[in-house]
Structure 1
């Protein structure tokens, strides 16, 4: 029995799910020197396709403004 390979690639499937469903990445970083906290950084990123973003109310203003500019 030979191993079979799926016709689609894993990275294509990953990007498809990421754009369709979206993901939120959050990271908190504290930079310390000699056990003294100096800098705190809080990062949050939402990654999704524009359709998904506008469904959740993110970038609605930008999307509407961009659409009116391209219709001219």
Structure 2
């Protein structure tokens, strides 16, 4: 049996890969008018899921404990929403 490679990758696959591995963008933009530089922009951006950023130490203001606490709170909210009954007048 020969290994095959799936050649079709959709937007969801690309987004999943970017969030899992992370994406770093460094850009320098200079806007000039008649040869005179007017505005200079130095752009640094990182795109990744929170776990990846925490693993690489990129998001220092959020510690792992805060991240775990936020996840627990979200799960509790999801459970409470599932247990509620919605009454719709007919």
Q: Flag the structure with larger Rg.
A: 2
CA apart distance, 1:68? 7.7
Q: CA RMSD in A?
A: 2.4
2:45 pairs with 1:42: no
Give the number of the structure with larger relative contact order, counting CA–CA contacts within 8 Å between residues 6 or more apart. 1
Q: Unpaired runs of 5+ in structure 1?
A: 1-5
Q: Distance in 1 between matches of 2:26 and 2:70?
A: 33
Any gaps of 5 or more consecutive residues in structure 2? 1-5, 72-90
Paired residue for 1:20? 20
- 1:4-43, CA deviations, whole angstroms, 9 ceiling, x for partnerless residues? xx7x861111011011000001221101111011111110
Moved over 6 A (4+): none
Q: Could you tell me the TM-score, scaled by structure 2's length? A: 0.59
Q: By percentage of residues, which structure has more strand?
A: 1
Q: Aligned ranges for residues 1-72 of structure 1 at < 5 Å?
A: 10-64=10-64, 66-67=66-67, 70=70
Please give the secondary structure, in 2, of the residue aligned with 1:61. coil
TM-score (norm 1): 0.71
Cα displacement (A) at 1:67? 4.0
For these two proteins, the number of residue pairs brought into alignment is 65
